[in-house]
Structure 1
Amino acid sequence: MYRTKVGVDLAKNIIQVCTLNGKKVTSNVEMSVDEFSAWLAKSNPLTVAFEACSTSNYWYQQAIKAGHDARLISAKLVKAVRQNQKTDKNDALAIAQTLFLPEVSFINGKSIEQQQLQSIQRLRELAIKSQNASQKQIVSLLLELNIRLPNTQDGILRGLEGVLEDGEINLSDTFRATLSVAKVQLENMISAIREYDKYLEQSIQSLPDCKNEVV
């Protein structure tokens, strides 16, 4: 670590930057995103810590790119170190102070490639949840009309096709049209998951070191 240590609180609209030389606070100021980006670029190498949050990996990457020693700190540790009420200034100070603790377990930062791979995985997981919820809802709603569909993906699609084509089933034109929309929506979800699978595999093949990011 460098002698100059910085704690950064990444708030929604501003960034609070607390700088310590040794253990002495030399500044604790607000910066805009552009100001902080420029500050990182022009500062001499230092150790900068961020509390882990949605934007911390981005700034972790930017700090490293600017030649700094970047660290990610868990929110739980920051809370334990903070001595006064929760404010942006106190949070930034607490983040900086964690750097002086012995045997701190820092959070591993992610590269932009790892972040993108993880994003593909999360979008895939969301699509799977949406597909499962849609299937269960369709089966449940039709069961209320005493229309029974197999509880499998292919069975539901075939069953819906049969219901839509069966003029003997007492369904209004409006409800048939609604079921048709639900069927198309389900088919689109299934197609989207196949696409996510393809892109996920492509990402893994191009980034073998990121394979462990996929669970």
Structure 2
Amino acid sequence: MNNTTIGVDLAKDVIQVCVFSQQKIISNTEMNVADFAIWLTQRKPSTIVFEACGTSNYWKQKATSLGHTVHLISAKLVNVVRQQQKNDKNDALAIVQASHLPNVKFIKGKTLEQQQLQSLIRIRDLAVKQKTAIKNQIKALLLELNIRVSTKNGGLNGTIQLVLEDAENGCAMYFRQAISTVWKTYLQLCQSVSKYDKVIERAIRKSPECKRLIQLEGVGPINAINLYLAIGCSDSMVFKQGKDVSACIGLTPVQHSSGGKTKLGKISKNIRNQMLRSQLVTGAFTFVNSIAKKEAKTEKERWLKNLIDRKGKKCASVALANKTVRTAFSMITKNTEYKVTPV
């Protein structure tokens, strides 16, 4: 049995490798990327622990394919364990020390497919933020000239065209050229977002897990991908129960228990993935709104309508998002399709 643990501190250009065996540090050396790749190939199968950061998923996949047992550990935990000043050697040693803590929870890595899906979501999110920022800037700049955007004059597009074509509004030629340029940039970003949406739809059709998740109430293409990324695939599952996933996303009450007394509070504001929770609750709220004034056709819709009557739409939306996450976990774990129960 190989009792060697290797702590690896990843950086952009250099990689620090700390080898721990037989209760002592064998080596703690710095390598470049090419040398580390060769070292991994020549090394006998060992337990390698990477600090979860950029490129850690790639190196986990690489080391796993070479027969090593690989874990990713939280950078926050490593920072707590490190005893001396921060440098690469102390970081690599702290990774080894943190990996030997009792009941330590390692971070699940992502497959190549999950990395590519995540990249699609990140690229689209950036385009949406840029589009929103430019739109708000155009409105603010026009408002400085007392030019207000309203639906009466054709919205933002109509207002821009009016500014460019009106020769008597006092706007200089250079100002018109600048407004025209920024407006074209905004239109290009709108087209980019539309193209990203089509790419995401094609990606979902090629992902069996996402195709099943999109059948859930209030789950669209983006929520399906984000749920798949949060839960993981069935052969690399870290969470043991669906409620653990809900707690990680922040859809369950915070527990304040002491002395054998259990006390549950509100859902926490400080969570790792606030965007995912926000998108899940928003999707759930859209579905809750759509069935509020309709007759319930399924058991879930009946449950939701009763909850709306007792607690209101907002509480029902959070409850539906919580149930959605647990159902998604069960579907991925058991490799099953989503089935509704008619009334």
Q: TM-score surpassing 0.5?
A: yes
Pairing of 1:1-150 with structure 2 (within 5 A):
2-150=2-150
Matched, 1:193 2:204: no
Letter in 2 for 1:78: V
Instruction: Calculate the TM-score normalised by the size of structure 1.
Output: 0.91
Q: How far is 1:85 from its partner?
A: 2.1
Aligned residue pairs: how many?
A: 213
Aligned to 1:164: 164
Moved over 6 A (4+): none
Identity of aligned residues (%): 48
Quick one: distance in 2 between partners of 1:35 and 1:73?
Answer: 23
Root-mean-square deviation (CA, aligned residues, Å) is 1.9
Letter in 2 for 1:125: D
What is the CA deviation profile of residues 143-169 of structure 1, one whole-angstrom value per residue up to 9, with x for unaligned ones? 111211138xx8212321232223332
Quick one: distance in 2 between partners of 1:208 and 1:101?
Answer: 37
Letter in 1 for 2:53: C
Letter in 1 for 2:82: R
Higher relative contact order (CA 8 A, sep 6+): 1
Instruction: Calculate the TM-score normalised by the size of structure 2.
Output: 0.58
What is the CA deviation profile of residues 108-147 of structure 1, one whole-angstrom value per residue up to 9, with x for unaligned ones? 1111221121111111111111111111111111111121
Per mean C-alpha deviation after superposition, the further-off stretch among 27-36 and 163-172 is 163-172
Letter in 2 for 1:65: S
Quick one: distance in 2 between partners of 1:52 and 1:64?
Answer: 15
Q: How far is 1:38 from its partner?
A: 0.7
Unaligned segments of structure 2, at least 5 residues? 211-224, 231-275, 277-343
Q: How far is 1:2 from its partner?
A: 4.6
Letter in 2 for 1:14: V
Unaligned segments of structure 1, at least 5 residues? none
